[in-house]
Chains A and B, each alone.
Chain A
Amino acid sequence: MTRIFISKDIAALAVGANKTAARLEAEAKARGLAVEIVRTGSRGMYFLETLVEVETAGGRIGYGPVAAPDVASLFDAGFLAGGAHPLRIGRTEDHPFMARQNRLTFARCGIIDPTSLADYESLGGWRGLARAIEIGPAATIAEVLKSGLRGRGGAGFPTGIKWKTVADAPADRRYVVCNFDEGDSGTFADRMIVEGDPYALIEGMTICALAIGASKGYVYCRSEYPHAGKTFSEALGLARSAGYLGSNIKGSGLSFDIELRMGAGAYVCGEETSLLESLEGRRGIVRAKPPLPAHKGLFARPTVVNNVLSLVAIPTILEHGADFYASFGMGRSRGTMPLQIAGNVRFGGLFETAFGLTLGEIVEDIGGGTATGRPVRAVQCGGPLGAYFPPALFDTPFDYEAFAARDGLIGHGGLVVFDDTVEMAQMARFAMEFCAIESCGKCTPCRIGSTRGVEVVDKIMAGDRVSENLALLEDLCQTMKFGSLCALGGFAPYPVLSAMRHFPEDFSPRALAAE
């Protein structure tokens, strides 16, 4: 029986993975060949989906992208024994896109059957939890602190400090909340890991619960991710039946359970206090800080709110030790970051690497330039509130501080590539429009300013008193930056100002020349 692996990640389903799998099964049957098709998560090489991998004595041999009509020719080429074919990429691990990565968090993703507990255990699953149980809460927190892990949701706050604050806060109950709202456009790492290796999140949250003394956890999943929600809820059920959730987990005395909650299409609910309001059943209006969620979070109890990627990094840190994790990276950015290379790019996908690669290396060498084959003109880094970088800044290393020094942010690690047909004034307008649509409405600069911003960009694009309106736009951005309670209104100016600064020629050159 030959084993064949095909992803069921939605980015594979979206390009016909189910059809490819069905055709493979039918074709094998017709030819009287015994195959077992295992559905996995994605390897993250989305440019190769649908990727078909065959288990051979020499490892898993990949073929991609395989559409249903290609299947017969794969059999003709003897792909079950790794035969030559134009779509053959060789051993998947040896593909240049894979070989250059440091897959710590995503080590299992794309390899295992996501909800198979046997698969999870056989590739190191639950070892981090076992060590946390062994060393106890205080030493677990110390390990996380020492690893240098910073929150991957965007703000980059040290995870160990957050955990310690919650653990030290006196309370009758504490909560761990996983932020799976992943609202940033151009990002999909949370989705990919939850679809591809959901037990890693369960393990990370359980370690957190042990460290801070929580017995209940919530995962807040955005409603745009129904498939990930389904996979995670299946994983929760299986983990519970196997004794990895519930009371007295694996005889450790630890009791902890997780509930999945779906969001309802509000970007601002990714902001941690808005998320907590939403979990409590209210409108997602941002809370003023202090109090911090670590002191008064969910139902006014001390609460850890962590991004999915922060939590799934935890089992690795516990299993292999803080020093191992911290040995990757640069400066104060330790460990690895799953980059999400997206948009108009040839080799788009998830690339987990130590901090420190330059933007140019990521976009040109790894991403292979644009999908359209035209020159790269701009890269938006860090989601819809992130700055646009021109190729002139491609020497910027991927690091929290280096990006901040250039008025940018790495956010959740999304990089959206644009070719030279992009109209930057249009993108600036969109940033304001998005802010207006998603504003929670609490602060005037964000709620009203963003709508004004759209109008002002429209005037500029129409050539109406351009220099005056450019000054007005700049002014408006400063007001939003300093007068907004949260980063939605506070950071929406970044894409706008960076577009104006780095691409001034797009802000109505003809009208400007005429003035």
Chain B
Amino acid sequence: MVEAPGWDARRAREIIAEFSGVEGAMLPILHALQGEFGYVAEDATPVIAEALNLSRAEVHGVISFYHDFRHAPAGRHSLKLCRGEACQSMGSEALAQKFLAGRSLGWHETSADGSLTVDPVYCLGLCSSSPAALLDGEPIARLDLASLDEAVDEALAEAQA
């Protein structure tokens, strides 16, 4: 079997084993795997199933239920743009459309060079400072197209340097 990119089955098994004895270990395991590899590979399903004494179908069902878990690696940088109502009241929908069009991307897509993935989120708790986003996990707010583009370009440039 060909391993998925960046995936290390041995390391994955180690991580899963660390959670033996934890009550309701499923989500902590999935977060740990995604934290290590950036996604949860299909190969993990049988290992988790065995560790937690569940069927593969059950494990697959959990992974696909939650919006956070990825089946494939994301881009090197992540932008989560808020689409909640408070951000909409400050023009986030138009902002998102312009930003995405400018980068030839759609929601949930990764740029061709693998540098950026853009996902929608529904509120970041920054609703008094809308529109807001998380860029590589860090908050940015009171955005317009210029400040969003600038922040994203800065993040992309840092990686090159």
Contact = CB atoms under 8 A, between A and B. Distances in A.
A185 B87 CA distance: 9
Nearest to A345: B128
B141 A14 contact: yes
A299 B25 CA distance: 13
Interface in A256-273: 261-267
Contact of B125 (A187, A266, A384, A417): A187
Contact of B65 (A47, A226, A266, A416): A266
B67 A266 contact: yes
B125 A224 contact: yes
A380 B127 CA distance: 13
B89 A11 contact: no
Interface residues of B, number: 43
A223 to B, nearest CB: 5
A430 B96 CA distance: 15
B141 A15 contact: yes
Contacts of A414: 86, 127
A343 B129 contact: no
Interface stretch (A25-33, A145-153, A278-286, A485-493): A278-286
Nearest to B58: A282
B156 interface: no
Contact of A342 (B23, B25, B127): B127
A83 B28 CA distance: 51
Interface string A202-236: 00000000000000000000011111100000000
A417 B89 CA distance: 7
Contacts of B142: 14-15
Given A279-B24, A281-B52, A284-B65, A185 B129 contact: no
A188 B132 CA distance: 13
A329 interface: no
B62 A340 contact: no
B89 A224 contact: no
Contacts of B88: 427, 430
A186 B86 contact: yes
Contact of A343 (B62, B86, B138): B86
Interface in A163-206: 182-188, 191-192
A264 B66 CA distance: 6
B66 A266 contact: yes
A349 interface: yes
Given A267-B122, A343-B90, A283 B68 contact: no
A240 B138 CA distance: 28
A434 interface: yes
B130 interface: yes
B92 to A, nearest CB: 10
A371 interface: yes
Contacts of A187: 123, 125, 127
A140 interface: no
Interface string B119-161: 0011111111110101001111110000000000000000000
Interface in A38-61: 46-47, 49
Contact of B85 (A224, A341, A349, A384): A384
B146 to A, nearest CB: 15
Contacts of A434: 122
A422 interface: yes
A350 B129 CA distance: 12
Contacts of A282: 26, 58, 62
Contacts of B140: 14
Contacts of B85: 185-186, 343, 380, 384, 416, 427, 430
Contacts of A264: 27, 30-31, 66-69
B38 interface: no
A399 interface: no
B5 interface: no
Contacts of A185: 84-87, 122-123, 127
Interface string B1-34: 0000000000000000000000111111011000
B27 A281 contact: yes
B66 A265 contact: yes
Contacts of A422: 89
Given A14-B129, A224-B134, 6 more contacts: A11-B125, A49-B129, A183-B123, A226-B137, A227-B139, A384-B122
29 contacts: A10-B125, A10-B139, A11-B126, A14-B126, A14-B129, A15-B129, A15-B142, A186-B85, A188-B126, A188-B127, A224-B80, A226-B137, A228-B125, A265-B121, A278-B27, A280-B23, A281-B24, A281-B27, A283-B62, A283-B65, A283-B66, A343-B86, A343-B127, A348-B127, A414-B86, A416-B89, A418-B89, A427-B85, A434-B122
Please name the 6 residue pairs, one residue from A and one from B, whose CB atoms are nearest each other, closest first.
Answer: A281-B26, A348-B128, A185-B84, A264-B66, A342-B127, A14-B141
